[in-house]
């Protein structure tokens, strides 16, 4: 029988990939979007426009659609705005909503997968395993940490990810790097911010694979290699045939960001391999493979602003 899957945030960068993979697997896919409309290429999914944070909406969606599983990719991702102008939305969406979804799903025996962030750690003592004690440095990080704790209490499967990239115009860092390289301009990239860059398509695949697990479960679902933004930009240049010499080391101390970022947030991924038998490739492997798609997205005039 076809699995009936509900994807929240289905028009987001990773959500789109979940919908695409689930359709290719022959699942019956329901997906929500809010402001950003879903792409035409995914019209085989059943799309619903909804703000999905209120308990009444959550109950209505579950009662009417009766999904067997929910993959939740919706989030408030404006890290700096969480410090002030977006604090309320940040809290509602990242801290409160996952616990509500997890509880309502658990009452009905529905699997629920939600995504957190490497920012729950402060980057002072890497590498981090799932059981290490978090120390969030920003309001965004606190909101996601509360979200993961509440979701886990209600039996969810929680995947922590980092620096998600894709051939989607909303992958800002990647787009900026590629455009500058293509124009022969220097790319100043931080040597002091380390993470495990994660390919959206691989994260989406893992979120679907994770439906096999029994919750509660917390897994690091990040690319297998931890690197600085500087190394990431160099890997992009190398894989796409641009001059690596254009990538120049810079320090995050040179720019002012409202929210504090962890410096060396390297995550261990052994548990992902052990529980699901998968690894998320490094950008060194991925970028070459999707180089054509990336050039089409970032170097064509159709790119979203």
Residues engaged in binding ligand NAP (CB under 6 A): 9, 11-15, 32-36, 51-53, 73-77, 93, 115, 117, 161-164, 170
Identity of the residue, 117 or 282, whose beta carbon is nearer to ligand NAP in the bound complex: 117
Strand partners, 195: 227
Cα distance between the two ends of the chain: 42
Q: How far is the CB of 100 from ligand NAP (least distance, A)?
A: 12
Identity of the residue, 37 or 296, whose beta carbon is nearer to ligand NAP in the bound complex: 37
By CB neighbour count within 10 A (0-12 exposed, 13-18 middle, 19+ buried), where does 256 fall? exposed
CA-only gyration radius of the chain, Å: 19
Q: How far is the CB of 288 from ligand NAP (least distance, A)?
A: 21
Identity of the residue, 164 or 187, whose beta carbon is nearer to ligand NAP in the bound complex: 164
Identity of the residue, 101 or 230, whose beta carbon is nearer to ligand NAP in the bound complex: 101
CA separation for the pair 235, 104 (Å, rounded): 43
DSSP-assigned states of every residue in 59-82: HHHHHHH--SEEEE------TTGG
Q: How far is the CB of 9 from ligand NAP (least distance, A)?
A: 3
Identity of the residue, 99 or 246, whose beta carbon is nearer to ligand NAP in the bound complex: 99
Residue nearest to ligand NAP (CB): 12
Q: How far is the CB of 184 from ligand NAP (least distance, A)?
A: 27
Q: How far is the CB of 144 from ligand NAP (least distance, A)?
A: 7
DSSP tag of 281: P
> Pick from 71, 61, 94: which is nearest to 20 by CA?
71
């Amino acid at each position: 029988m076809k699995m009936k899957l509900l994807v929240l945030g289905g028009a987001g960068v990773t959500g789109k990939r979940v919908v695409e993979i689930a359709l290719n697997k022959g699942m019956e896919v329901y997906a929500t979007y809010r402001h950003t409309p879903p792409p035409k290429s995914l019209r085989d999914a059943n799309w619903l426009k909804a703000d999905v944070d209120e308990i009444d909406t959550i109950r209505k969606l579950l009662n009417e659609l009766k999904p067997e599983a929910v993959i939740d990719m919706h989030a408030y991702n404006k890290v700096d705005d969480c410090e002030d102008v977006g604090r309320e939305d940040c809290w509602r969406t990242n801290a409160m909503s996952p616990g509500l979804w997890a509880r309502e799903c658990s009452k009905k025996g529905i699997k629920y997968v939600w995504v957190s962030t490497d920012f729950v750690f402060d980057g002072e003592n890497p590498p981090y395993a799932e059981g290490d004690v978090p120390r969030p440095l920003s309001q965004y990080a606190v909101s996601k940490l509360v979200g993961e704790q509440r979701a886990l209490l209600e039996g969810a499967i929680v995947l922590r990810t980092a620096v998600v990239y894709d051939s989607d115009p909303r992958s800002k860092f990647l787009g900026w790097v590629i455009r500058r390289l293509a124009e022969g301009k220097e790319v100043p990239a931080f040597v002091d911010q380390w993470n495990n860059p994660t390919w959206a398509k691989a994260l989406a695949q893992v979120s679907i694979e994770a439906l096999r697990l029994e919750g509660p479960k917390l897994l690091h679902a990040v690319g297998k290699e931890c690197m600085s933004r500087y190394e990431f930009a160099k890997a992009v240049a190398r894989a796409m045939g641009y001059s690596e010499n254009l990538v120049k080391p810079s320090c995050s101390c040179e720019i002012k960001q409202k929210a504090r970022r962890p410096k060396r947030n390297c995550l261990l991924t052994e548990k992902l391999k052990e529980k699901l038998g998968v690894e998320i490739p490094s950008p060194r492997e991925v970028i070459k493979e999707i180089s054509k798609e990336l050039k089409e997205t970032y170097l064509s005039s159709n790119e979203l602003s």
